[in-house]
């Protein structure tokens, strides 16, 4: 066993706990040495703590600096703040890294998609500054700052360079929102000057959506403000097979939280029916973040093999396997290859 990593596990609610148990089974079998510390988050916390994100959970993440999170649901219109957004704000997890890469066994109409989206995660319309400014007008402030924009662009260029990527485009609507998106684009261009070895450019968000659907292979890395990033990352996930296989990482300078981006599917809770792949591929991202490349590659290879065989896959990809049976099949595949 190598270096021990201490990781906060946030199972979430609904199907989250059964998904996270399946993922833990696979990760623990990969040879990596992880001590998991479980903490509460999400709807189930409301009755116990009166909040979706208890202080105890915040303190544990602050200590460990890395967490793997299952799905949670934000109640709509109840006044409770989203646990996800609160986590991003409290730990200043400013970079939402959302790769979209074709999984070979999932038949899609494109030959190649390999995009990394870098979504600014803390500003824009998500600054939680909303007012009813009269009894018939609601207003939401879109907050874009130079330091926040500069920081996500800098993060993206450095990540791209470290991972051998060649091209970064800034996605914006600066032709209309000249102050806010204009500032975001200016900061991107300033950072781009420092990285002449990486091709850079910009594209207006609506055109980017059309281009993504028509010819996604043309894109390599995209840097986006929060709202466009929220939408386009799901669009990209849809291109490669849906949210069920979409990993996500929320990264700050002092902390990283890896999570699936789909919901908690409460109607399936306890049925061990859902596909845990999104949390698993997020776990693979986490292992790479922890410099555990061998374990990450082992899991990825075994997962693709199990998906390719289609004997032990979940209902959403045409199988009948339970969540834990799919996970066990991946473990068996890893051991068979060892």
- Residue 105 Cβ vs other proteins, minimum distance, rounded to whole Å: 39
- Residue 60 Cβ vs other proteins, minimum distance, rounded to whole Å: 13
Backbone angles phi, psi at 212, to 5 degrees: -65, -40
Residue 230 a catalytic site member = yes
- Residue 152 Cβ vs other proteins, minimum distance, rounded to whole Å: 10
Residue 150 a catalytic site member = no
What are the Cα distances from residue 27, in Å, to 13, 35, 145, 283, 302? Answer: 20, 11, 39, 8, 12
- Residue 35 Cβ vs other proteins, minimum distance, rounded to whole Å: 23
**Spatial distance between the Cα atoms of 331 and 338, rounded to a whole number of angstroms:** 11
- Residue 128 Cβ vs other proteins, minimum distance, rounded to whole Å: 4
DSSP single-letter state for residue 202:
E
- Residue 279 Cβ vs other proteins, minimum distance, rounded to whole Å: 24
**Spatial distance between the Cα atoms of 283 and 72, rounded to a whole number of angstroms:** 16
Say how many residues make up the chain: 338
Backbone angles phi, psi at 128, to 5 degrees: 60, 35
227 close to 123: Cβ distance less than 8 angstroms: no
5: left (phi over 0), alpha (psi -120 to 50) or beta: beta
Q: Which tokens hold the place of 8?
A: 């906060």
Residue 193 a catalytic site member = no
Residue given tokens 């834990």 in the structure block: 324
Binding region for other proteins (CB under 8 A)? 55, 58, 62, 79, 81, 85-86, 89-92, 94, 122-123, 126-133, 135-136, 143, 145-148, 151, 252-255
Residue 173 a catalytic site member = yes
Catalytic site residue from 94, 126, 169, 326: 126
- Residue 56 Cβ vs other proteins, minimum distance, rounded to whole Å: 12
Catalytic site residue from 28, 206, 253, 308: 206
CB closer to other proteins, 85 vs 231 = 85
**Spatial distance between the Cα atoms of 117 and 220, rounded to a whole number of angstroms:** 9
CB closer to other proteins, 130 vs 206 = 130
Which residues face 108 on adjacent strands?
none
What are the Cα distances from residue 74, in Å, to 53, 297, 311? Answer: 11, 33, 35
Catalytic site residue from 69, 173, 272, 322: 173
CB closer to other proteins, 47 vs 136 = 136
CB closer to other proteins, 28 vs 130 = 130
Residue 28 a catalytic site member = no
Catalytic site residue from 44, 202, 234, 322: 234
CB closer to other proteins, 141 vs 271 = 141
CB closer to other proteins, 62 vs 217 = 62
**Spatial distance between the Cα atoms of 281 and 15, rounded to a whole number of angstroms:** 17
Give me the torsion for CA of 280, 244, 14, 80, rounded to 10°: 100
**Spatial distance between the Cα atoms of 315 and 276, rounded to a whole number of angstroms:** 12
CB closer to other proteins, 259 vs 300 = 259
Hey, which residues are catalytic here? Answer: 126, 173, 206, 230, 234
């Amino acid at each position: 066993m190598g270096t021990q990593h201490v990781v906060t596990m946030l199972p979430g609610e609904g199907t989250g706990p059964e998904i996270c148990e399946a993922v833990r089974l696979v990760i623990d079998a990969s040879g990596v040495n992880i001590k998991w510390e479980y903490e509460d988050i999400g709807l189930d916390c409301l009755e116990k703590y009166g909040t979706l994100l208890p202080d105890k959970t915040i303190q544990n993440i602050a200590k460990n600096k890395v967490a793997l999170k299952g799905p949670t649901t934000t109640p709509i219109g109840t006044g409770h703040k989203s646990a996800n957004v609160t986590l991003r704000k409290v730990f200043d997890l400013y970079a939402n890294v959302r790769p979209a890469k074709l999984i070979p066994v999932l038949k899609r109409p494109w030959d190649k998609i390999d995009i990394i989206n870098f979504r600014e995660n803390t500003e824009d319309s998500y600054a939680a500054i909303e007012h009813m400014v009269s009894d018939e007008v609601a207003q939401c402030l879109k907050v874009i700052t130079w330091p926040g924009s500069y920081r996500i662009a800098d993060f993206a260029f450095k990540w791209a360079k470290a991972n051998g990527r060649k091209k970064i485009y800034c996605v914006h609507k600066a032709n209309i929102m000249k102050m806010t998106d204009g500032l975001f684009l200016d900061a991107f261009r300033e950072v781009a000057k420092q990285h002449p070895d990486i091709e850079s450019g910009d594209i207006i968000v609506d055109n980017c959506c059309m281009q993504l659907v028509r010819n996604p292979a043309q894109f390599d890395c995209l840097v986006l403000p929060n709202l466009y990033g929220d939408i386009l990352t799901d669009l990209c996930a849809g291109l490669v097979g849906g949210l069920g296989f979409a990993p996500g990482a929320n990264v700050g300078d002092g902390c990283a939280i890896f999570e699936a981006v789909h919901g908690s599917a409460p109607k399936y809770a306890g049925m061990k029916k859902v596909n845990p792949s999104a949390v698993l591929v997020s776990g693979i991202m986490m292992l790479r973040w922890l410099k555990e490349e061998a374990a990450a590659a082992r899991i990825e290879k075994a997962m693709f093999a199990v998906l390719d065989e289609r004997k032990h896959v979940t209902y959403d990809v045409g199988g009948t396997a339970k969540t834990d049976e799919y996970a066990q099949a991946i473990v068996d595949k890893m051991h068979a290859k060892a």
